Amino acid sequence: MNNSELYPKTPEHILLIKPRFKLTLKEFQNDDNLKKEYLDTIVHGNMTHYYEDACKEFDWEIDENLLSTMKHENEITLQELESSDNSTLESPEKMNWREKFEFYCKIGDLDRGTDIANTILEDESNSSSAKIDAAFGLFRISYIRNNACSMEKIITQITNLMEGSHASGSNWCCRNKLKVYEAVYCLATRNFPRAASLLLECIPTFESYELLPFKEVVEYTVLSGMISLSRSDLDSQFNNNGLLQQALLTETPRYREYFYTFYDCHYKDFFENLGWIESEFKSNPLLHPHYRYYVREMRVKAYSQLLQAYRTINLSRMATEFGVTEEYIEQEVARFIANGKLYCKIDKVAGMIVTVSAAGCNRSQAPDASCDRGLIYQNTIKKGDALLNRLKKLSQQLLVRIHKIMAHRILRKYPRSIYKGTKEVQQYFKYLLVLDFECTCKKYEQIEPQEIIEFPCAALSTQTWEVEDVFHRYIKPTFNPQLTSFCTNLTGIIQDMVDDEPHFPEVFATFCDWLKEHNYFEEGNDCAFVTCGDWDLKSMLPSQCERENVQLPEQFKKWINLKGTFCDATELYPRSLKDMLFRLSLPMHGKLHSGICDVQNMVKIIQVLHSDYNVQFKINNVQSNILETYMKANQNI
């Protein structure tokens, strides 16, 4: 199993955007391989409108037989969509609108797709979720047409739908998706700082494959972050970002090389990579208008980074660092000095560049002694910090050496008193209660309210690391008793499995009795719940207890997020339960999104984290009110 198999695929008509734009560029107009790749994708997807538009724009001969065959296939598909409308209970104008919208976008009939989405948006009787989906669809059409003005209007429209009075159903997934869409708009309008911030936030939970493949999201994060973030921010948000580093290694190694040649100050290699980045910008319709600006600003950033380390530097040395001629460096630096982008001056006689501190200096005048003293002070502080850090590292190394010497002496004197081998960490909890809820759900939108329909929990002993007891019950939903076909396909729970089951208050009371019966959470028998993510105990259970007037015991207000523990052990933040199994080379047991199967898979992950990583399982998340109470109680400490 490779990484690509873990993630959904981006639609082919979205992936065609770049090849189509490349064919408009002079350097690719005679590229037969690119033309063949583009036409093969069109024929495979019966994209008749894209085919006709391309033949017209690039003056290609139209194959009438091929076009007729593709149109015939599309007519059959459309008839199937129309016939499936008869099985729905909605009004005719709402039937299968999502499938029809995607179909028209796929074949290139963007006007028809726009009409369908606008109809859904303008109908006040539609739910906010349906309107938001329609607005996202309109954004994708604007993205295909590279229309930034339309993108801006749609982003505003989606934001208003989510924040308006009818947006109670807009969930976290939609808000996370909006970040990706807004980031694309920011890239189109050269707002790189905002794009970098949004992309860094959504990378850990990225799901907007209908707009971009994950690989491009990583690439855009690198491009926008490098031009907009300071060196310290690059260190904290790029170097210390385990998921981003993992994605760079597996998805885009060339962009990783581009980043580290800049960050590690290998300027000659950086300039070579920057030339490649320029070609990437040129062939991307979203970034093409900004390629001159981006390349110029990255050169300025590289020059500034080098000059910060020197009071003076020879032009020849600087030219060698960047792998260019002295004349080129002199002209470049002079131009950037004149534009106020570099704070230095060129001593033509000595063949040197003299750096100047930007703080406290008038750029319209020659630098004076006060500027020099300020620069010397800054450099002294930097050297002092570096020296202190070096001394700290040396002291740590010295302590380690002393401990080894002392241990060696004790071992010689008392050879039988030393335990040889890796000491197992002490666990805080006697039992880990592994649980994973399954809830009612609906395709394309969030059902209101969501209700728990499967309640599994396994008691895993931290002494034997075996499951000693299991609680597992299905629950009959109260507000939406009829399960959707999407819910059944996702969870494997059919209607008969919940019809004769009790409602949530009774099952939850039975579970609490089960906890008391086995003395879990009693004195001397400390336990902790383990979940895959925070949703189960942070959102789902509290909301259902509040809705059904059930008191939530204190032990449910803090838990162990298995994803966080996995990240602490492996330094890789997992995207999902499936990702954790993949990283640990564990097979999937049963059906994904079946509550009891997910619990069994989580138990396997916990056992491997214990046996292979010697992990200490600790509480890493709590309800917000618990945290507020703790902060108030300790505010005077």
Q: In what order do the strands lie in the sheet with 352-355?
A: 312-314, 352-355, 344-347
pLDDT for 204: 87
pLDDT for 403: 62
**Cα 1 to Cα 72: distance, rounded to the nearest angstrom:** 37
**Cα 478 to Cα 483: distance, rounded to the nearest angstrom:** 11
pLDDT for 109: 93
Average pLDDT over residues 389-403: 77
Task: Indicate the pairing of strand 527-531 with strand 431-435.
Answer: parallel
Kindly give, in sequence order, each residue whose CB lies less than 8 Å from that of residue 320, ignoring residues fewer than 6 positions away.
Answer: none
Give the chain's length: 637
257 carries an active-site annotation? no
Helix or strand run (H / E) with residue 635? none
Q: Which of 13, 49, 593, 610 is catalytic?
A: 593
Is residue 562 within 8 Å of 606, Cβ to Cβ? yes
Query: How many CB atoms are closer than 10 A to CB 116?
Result: 23
| Sign of CA pseudo-dihedral 245, 248, 249, 250 | positive
pTM, full prediction: 0.61
Residue 299 has pLDDT above 90, yes or no: yes
Q: Percent of the chain scored above 70 by pLDDT?
A: 86
Residue 373 has pLDDT above 50, yes or no: no
Residue 343 has pLDDT above 90, yes or no: no
Q: Looking at 118-122, 294-298, 390-394, 448-452, which range is the least confident one?
A: 390-394
Residue 415 has pLDDT above 60, yes or no: no
Whose tokens are 């996202």? That residue is: 136
Average pLDDT over residues 142-150: 93
Residues 34-44 have pLDDT tens digits of 999 999 999 99
Average pLDDT over residues 167-176: 65
Instruction: List the end-to-end C-alpha distance of the chain, in Å, as a whole number.
Output: 52
Is residue 527 within 8 Å of 429, Cβ to Cβ? yes
Whose tokens are 């000095």? That residue is: 337
**Cα 598 to Cα 426: distance, rounded to the nearest angstrom:** 27
**Cα 252 to Cα 245: distance, rounded to the nearest angstrom:** 10
Six-digit token string for 140: 């994708």
Whose tokens are 């106020």? That residue is: 340
List beta partners, residue 452: 439
Q: Which of 587, 589, 586 has the alpha carbon at shortest distance from 598?
A: 589
Residue 367 has pLDDT above 60, yes or no: no
438 carries an active-site annotation? yes
**Cα 203 to Cα 226: distance, rounded to the nearest angstrom:** 16
**Cα 533 to Cα 563: distance, rounded to the nearest angstrom:** 6
Amino acid identity at 403: H
For the chain, what is the mean pLDDT?
Answer: 85
Q: How confident is the model at residue 416 (pLDDT cuts 50, 70, 90)?
A: very low
Q: Which of 38, 346, 198, 36 has the alpha carbon at shortest distance from 356?
A: 346
510 versus 129: the higher-pLDDT residue is 510
List beta partners, residue 459: 433, 469
Residue 269 has pLDDT above 90, yes or no: yes
Residue 480 has pLDDT above 70, yes or no: yes
pLDDT for 309: 82
**Cα 612 to Cα 610: distance, rounded to the nearest angstrom:** 6
Rg value, the chain, Cα: 30
Q: Which of 321, 438, 451, 454 is catalytic?
A: 438
299 versus 381: the higher-pLDDT residue is 299
Residue 637 has pLDDT above 50, yes or no: no
Is residue 162 within 8 Å of 170, Cβ to Cβ? yes
Amino acid identity at 14: I
Q: Looking at 367-381, 488-502, 513-527, 531-545, which range is the least confident one?
A: 367-381
Is residue 45 within 8 Å of 302, Cβ to Cβ? no
Q: Which of 512, 534, 541 has the alpha carbon at shortest distance from 450?
A: 541
Residue 528 has pLDDT above 90, yes or no: yes
The helix-helix angle for 315-322 and 267-282 (nearest 10°) equals 50
**Cα 554 to Cα 545: distance, rounded to the nearest angstrom:** 13
Residues 550-609 have pLDDT tens digits of 999 999 999 999 998 998 888 888 888 998 998 899 999 889 999 999 999 999 999 999
Residue 92 has pLDDT above 60, yes or no: no
Average pLDDT over residues 518-540: 89
Helices (H) then strands (E): counts for the chain: 29, 10
Residues 190-245 have pLDDT tens digits of 999 999 999 999 888 888 999 999 999 999 999 999 999 998 899 999 988 888 88
pLDDT for 49: 93
pLDDT for 453: 95
Kindly give, in sequence order, each residue whose CB lies less than 8 Å from that of residue 234, ignoring residues fewer than 6 positions away.
Answer: 225, 226, 263
pLDDT for 279: 94
